[in-house]
Chain A
Amino acid sequence: MGRYVLRRLILTAIVMLGAAVVIFTVMYFVPGDPAEILLSQEATPADVAAKRAELGLDQPFLVQLGQFMYNAFIRFDLGTSWVRGTSVMGGMLERLPRTFLLGVLTVLVTVVVGVPMGVNAAIHRGGWQDRSLMVSSMFFISLPEFWLALMLIIVFALKLGWLPSFGIESWKCYILPVVSGAVAGIANLARQSRASVLEVVRADYITTARSKGMKEKLVIYKHMLPNALIPIITVTGSLFARCVGGTIVMEKIFSFPGIGLYMSDAITMRDYPIVRGCVVVLAAFTALLMLLVDLAYGFADPQIRAQYAESGKRKGQHRKDRHPRSRRGEWNHGRPVDLTEETEQDPESKQHSHASQGEEEPW
């Protein structure tokens, strides 16, 4: 297990570095000379040249990239904002906790509401609970998140005046962002929970548990849910990644002073160091979250844990064989393998397509 974790940690670090390189390279091609943007219109060419030298923009691309990487990953310095003149890292550290808090609250609400709804629908398969969930979830998944947010603002903030539409002064300020951020997630998670519970609902061990006279509640929470947990964890992980990584539109709408607003303000002011820094940090965060989701599989499923432990011992085999999910099908004892996924055989991509589901969702 330790070895597996170590290997994944190293891979995650490489992914982070690679993401930073990609981000820097794309941002390098953003049109407009930063020195000219910074200086006023009357600046002479000499001034511009001096400014370019000061910012290090006269260096070749590779040198700039190397400097950026060194500063970002060794000194944890993401540069200085052009407009504000403050450290990007400082600005982010100030705002990141707020975005996290919002993300955690949203995911908490999503899980607390979504999972029981899905389980309930699966147990009463074909009943009114099930049908109403399937119809309403389709409705809510299709709702554009930011439009829902705007509609909620119109109704609750402007017409009724019950809730504030911006700021973070009191707990009331969090209600609208959390609700509008959670609705699509709840629908998504409920559908996923329903599907994965349906996979286990007819398994032999459920029949056994029932036939030995176990209470229905215990059957559900001790036997069904733990076995249906993997896809639920995946969706939850990607929801959290989306809440933090895709928060920019929501924060702009609610003027919520988190990392998203910081970034969208920077886009408006063409303050590219901030944009670059935010994207790098959010990418690192997403990579870490993917790692955590993978490790959480180990805690949720002893079969996978055993496979992790094994992967440390057996070296030299093809990676695919060592991968935790590759053998799940064989060990599933007649339980169909992951029906909610595309018919993929490569375990690695299956895991990632799970983890990337959040990306597919609208913001």
Chain B
Amino acid sequence: MVSNKAGSAAATISPVKRRKKEGMWKQVFKRLMKDRAAMIGLIGVAVIILISICAPILTSYSPEEMDLTRLNSGPSWEHPMGTDALGRDYMSRLFYGGRYSLVLGISSSFLSVLIGIIIGSIAGYFGNWVDNIIMRLCDIIQAIPGVMISIIISLALGTGYWVTIAALAIGGCSHGIRMTRAQVLSVRKSEYLDAARTVNCGSIRIMFKHILPNTMSPMLLDFTMRIANMIQFSAGLSVIGLGVQAPTPEWGAMLSAGRNVIRTYPHLVMFPGLFIFAISFFINLFGDGLRDALDPKLKK
């Protein structure tokens, strides 16, 4: 009883200490846990990731194994999602394909945000002519529709898995540059930066220790929401004949390969699209919750 009282007294006396324990990220996490939709999204994403990691356990076929007696067969008990034009089990290809699609989405989104952070913080921090040049370049790049940038870059770099990731990342980075720059500008005049400068912090240390952590939350959100877009983007590129192409079991590439036989074998288009839709839906659901959790003011 006594100790309890003492405990609560200590808590009221030193609110500063208690606050320090609950950092911003912990608060965000707490708010996120309360958001039912976001949790559904998170679980959905986790399930899809698990499916693609555990693909060898979940399916009894190899994604490369051809069964020439069953070409293009529709869904059946043996092949729940049918087989493709070479008689390969479509479900196992889709499960394995998740690895390619998810890695593509995550890495291109990450790269794009990373480029945005680096260039954007340089522009925002140094200001003046550096800022001017970078921003005018961004103006120019933003005038070219994002799809078109990815198209001409993948034309210049060729088709292939990693090349597509690069093309997608470069195509989408101007938005990240602008956002980081705006964030950096908004904290640049803060008092804690003056304080840091007064104690002789160098530019690099100020940037990494003081500015970037304070600009992280929109970047995190951008990264999350972008993953789904990147997967859809790359599927679009595959449809045009660029991007990831057929032998790779990537969802977009499979969808675009199935498009040619849509009249006769619609299941070849339907299932990859369903997977792309599912991952987009869950990511968007989670991202929406994350936005509210990062900035509770938004959700009045």
Contacts and interface: CB of A to CB of B under 8 A. Distances in A.
B274 to A, nearest CB: 8
B259 A253 contact: yes
A57 B285 CA distance: 51
A23 B259 contact: no
- Chain A interface, DSSP helix/strand/loop, else mixed: helix
Given A268-B241, A359-B175, A248 B151 contact: yes
Contacts of B136: 14, 18
Nearest to A17: B140
Contacts of A353: 175, 178-179, 182
Nearest to B259: A150
Interface in A191-240: 198
Contacts of B181: 346, 349
B277 A19 contact: no
B233 A363 contact: yes
Interface string A246-276: 1011001100000000001001100010011
Interface stretch (A24-32, A36-44, A86-94, A327-335): A24-32
Given A26-B153, A144-B273, A252-B239, A15 B143 contact: yes
A107 interface: no
Nearest to A147: B273
A121 interface: no
A344 B255 CA distance: 39
B145 interface: yes
B156 A30 contact: yes
Interface string B215-233: 0001000000110110011
Interface in A44-76: none
Nearest to A276: B152
Nearest to B124: A346
Interface string A325-353: 00000000000000110111110111011
Interface string A264-298: 10011000100110110011101100100000000
B281 A138 contact: yes
Contacts of B259: 150, 253
B32 to A, nearest CB: 16
A154 B185 contact: no
Interface residues of A, number: 69
A286 B145 contact: yes
Contacts of B283: 142
B52 interface: no
Interface string B197-225: 00000000000000000000010000001
B261 to A, nearest CB: 12
A339 B181 CA distance: 19
B239 A249 contact: yes
Contacts of B295: 343
A178 interface: no
A71 B228 CA distance: 40
B186 interface: yes
A89 B185 CA distance: 43
Contacts of A349: 135, 178-179, 181-182
B158 interface: yes
B245 interface: no
B144 interface: yes
A268 B181 CA distance: 38
A6 interface: no
B144 A23 contact: yes
Contacts of A340: 298
A152 to B, nearest CB: 11
A286 B144 contact: yes
Contacts of A101: none
Nearest to B219: A342
Nearest to A355: B142
8 contacts: A11-B139, A147-B255, A153-B262, A245-B148, A264-B241, A283-B144, A344-B186, A355-B142
Interface of A: 11, 14-16, 18-19, 22-23, 26-27, 29-31, 138-139, 141-147, 150-151, 153-154, 158, 198, 241-242, 245-246, 248-249, 252-253, 264, 267-268, 272, 275-276, 278-279, 282-284, 286-287, 290, 339-340, 342-346, 348-350, 352-353, 355-356, 359-363
Given A283-B144, A360-B229, 8 more contacts: A15-B140, A154-B269, A248-B240, A279-B151, A342-B179, A342-B182, A343-B295, A352-B138
When A and B form their complex, which 7 residue pairs have the shortest distance between CB atoms, in order from nearest?
A: A245-B145, A147-B273, A362-B232, A18-B140, A142-B281, A344-B182, A142-B280
